[in-house]
Amino acid sequence: MFKRPVLLIILLFCINLLSAQKKSFHHGYIIEHSGDTIQGLIKDRSPEPFVALYKKIRFKKEDRSRTRKYEPDDIKGYGYQDQHFISMPLREESGFLKFRYYTDASTPWVFLKVIEQSEGLFYFEQLFVHDDNDYLDFIPFFYRPGRSNLVRVTQGIFGFRKKRLAAYFSDCPTLVEEITNTTSNIRTVAELYTFCITHCKL
């Protein structure tokens, strides 16, 4: 038989686990292809500590118990807790240490987190989980509406992908000069985004 302290710990663990599972649904919304926004409860990942991103988000209206699943190409986007995601086709081409990303409508769609947006430039993050440690990470992208491709902004510990960024913003010499300058004060993706919006005609 369990001693009381051990039994109490087990009960508390079970209560916390059930609570976490309930909290994994958040008040949010989905945006249908018609443009209609539907309010409800959203879940797009498993509870911590072992996080897994769902390929299909879970959604249910607050007055109903039925849960529906949506793939990225089923809806235009969703959001909760001041986080906003849009669905977008994304194709990766890889060569020797080279990666390119295209918005090819014939390829599978994905959900991308919207960090910043303006009429001429979007700053996205593609979330992913490391296979070896269940750690949630992301890849930052810039996207210029109307283009057929996105540009990955950083390459892990190697910092900005300066050559790719220079090619993507070749029509903005001020930015090209800034990112190729070894004395540049821009250190973060957010700072680079602000510089683009301020100095480029986007």
Residue 56 lies in a domain: yes
109's tokens: 């769609």
Strands (DSSP E) found in 32-97:
37-45, 53-60, 68-70, 77-80, 83-89, 91-95
What are 130-147's pLDDT values in tens digits? 876 778 899 999 999 999
> Does the residue 76 lie in any domain?
yes
Q: How far apart are CA 200 and CA 202, in angstroms?
A: 6
Please report the pLDDT score of residue 18 as a whole number. 43
User: For residues 27 and 60, what is the distance between their CA atoms, to the nearest angstrom?
Assistant: 10
- Could you tell me the pLDDT band of residue 186, with boundaries at 50, 70 and 90? very high
Residue 104 lies in a domain: yes
43-72 residue pLDDT tens: 999 987 788 999 999 999 877 778 999 999
- Number of structural domains the chain divides into: 1
The boundaries of the domain holding residue 85 are 26-199
Q: Across residues 29-35, what is the average pLDDT?
A: 97
Mean pLDDT, rounded, for 13-42 = 77
Q: Kindly indicate the confidence band of residue 77, based on its pLDDT and cuts at 50, 70 and 90.
A: very high
The answer to whether position 13 is within a domain reads: no
Between 119 and 182, name the one with better pLDDT. Answer: 119
d(CA 130, CA 150): 22
Instruction: Establish if 155 belongs to a structural domain.
Output: yes
